[in-house]
Chains A and B, each alone.
Chain A
């Protein structure tokens, strides 16, 4: 039953800062994954609610009033989904007795089939939540191909978030949701916000054809009316086609929709860097 966390690879790793908008981002990620895995809606509700509580706990308690790094990982096994939420903070608050504020942990216990609180690798806390993926003999999701090893990018600036996905197809549902959440909080007008759909669709479609391995990474950062995406790794030379300029006989749709598109070397392959700005008057 217990295939250990260390021997398998997560289908999703999401590294981000613990801020209030974090919950929206994490739930968006879960919805995006659910789309590809065809997760049963009721199970998805439970996942979202329990994982939100675990994340909320990090936002509220792990770093005092400050934001701090947190990581959400999702594993899919034959009979269950495992989601872990880890921080590097002060450790778990004592489980409060009758105070209604302390219900987060009770909610997690009520919704997940198994819950463990363990010391994280960086001294903080890791909440491990398991959810059975079968109910009354009926499977609650379609299991995708196995995930590839995760030796990818990590968080390195305060305001960015990094997601690592395997198989690559997960990018289709996840990238758009993450990008739209950031664009919304970065005050994009709906016109430019809608362009973000097209940008992420194009990148995700490219990824299914040009990714160089079993895993794809994306780094997203937003500032006021500005969204930056870096996605990779792709096979060397595969992304050039996305950069044909506006005055080229066949301009790249991505180029038409974005303010900047560039390809940069990354390990043995390359990564795609895209900037979308809302220039409204």
Chain B
């Protein structure tokens, strides 16, 4: 028995073999904590350290399964690592970086296919899980909350000029054609909000098309819509 060879006879080869054998366990646990905070290799190293500790401390004479002893030891090591680095309380840097990647991929795939990609397409392109892409989209939205009205610099400034081609009168959202008159309620909205609402609902453009037209990202269009719809709902229901 390997544990006996290591713990009783101090046979280092037996110890190495034990660590090798249970490395998949450590890897599996490290992956559970791989939520974009930190490079996976670092986590794997921490988990492996926990595994070595478990191999050294395991009391094989008690007849318990090694894994039921090793798992809490390894998890404890991972959790201590996270606590020491304060990630539980800070905005995970890795998650933000991933959110930027998702947004870049979104633009790249849109340009390639001429339409906005689906989440599974983004996941496949970025080799992420659907859940990771979903989380990145949430992060991106939270992040954009602070830079909502900052102009999107596309290096040309051409698209932004389109904003100015709509006169104030047009922005009342009163179009005879479509008979949509959100009217009074929209007076409470900013110029840009009214404009985005009109493009979305009167012109029936997609968010990507609006984004291109007014020179912001699709995510910002989404934010603007979200905010203005919330306000409209509030106003129409009160």
Minimal beta-carbon separation of A40 from chain B (angstroms): 7
| Contact partners of B94 in chain A: CB under 8 A | none
Is B45 part of the contact surface with A, judged by Cβ < 8 Å? Answer: no
* B88 and A42 contacting across the interface, CB-CB below 8 Å: yes
**Structural contact, A106 and B118, CB atoms closer than 8 A:** no
What residues of chain B lie closer than 8 Å to A187, measured between beta carbons? 118, 120
Q: Mark A252-264, 1 if CB is under 8 A from B, else 0.
A: 1110110000000
A189 x B115 contact (CB < 8 A): yes
B65 x A205 contact (CB < 8 A): no
Q: What's the minimum C-beta distance from A92 to chain B, rounded to whole angstroms?
A: 15
Measured in the bound complex, the distance between the Cα atoms of B129 and A23 in whole Å is: 12
User: Residue of A at shortest CB range from B118?
Assistant: A187
* Complex alpha-carbon distance, A162 and B220, angstroms: 31
Contact (Cβ within 8 A) A111 B229: no
Contact partners of B195 in chain A: CB under 8 A: none
Residue of B24, B67, B226, B236 most packed against chain A (CB within 10 A): B67
B151 within 8 A of A: no
Question: How many CB-defined contacts (below 8 Å) exist between A and B?
Answer: 142
Q: Quick check: which of A214-222, A228-236, A243-251 contacts chain B, the rest being far away?
A: A243-251
Query: Once bound together, how far apart are the Cα atoms of A113 and B83, in whole Å?
Result: 18
B67 contacts A249, C-beta separation under 8 Å: no
Residues of B within 8 A of A257 (CB): 229
Contact B118 A188 (CB under 8 A): yes
Least CB distance, A176 to chain B, in whole angstroms: 9
Chain A residues whose CB sits within 8 angstroms of the CB of B32 once the complex forms: 49, 107
A138 to chain B, nearest CB (A): 12
> Which residues of the partner chain A approach B33 to less than 8 Å between Cβ atoms?
45, 49
| Residue B181, interface by CB 8 Å | yes
Q: Per a CB cutoff under 8 Å, which of A100, A188, A247 touches B28?
A: A100
Q: Which B161-177 residues sit within 8 Å CB-CB of chain A?
A: none
Residues of A within 8 A of B (CB): 21, 23-24, 27-28, 40-42, 45, 49, 97-100, 102-103, 106-107, 109-111, 180-181, 183-185, 187-191, 193-195, 197-198, 201-202, 205-206, 209, 241, 246-247, 249-254, 256-257, 280-281
**New A-B pairs, 9, CB < 8 Å, besides A194-B221, A247-B179:** A28-B134, A45-B33, A97-B67, A98-B65, A103-B67, A181-B131, A193-B118, A198-B229, A252-B236
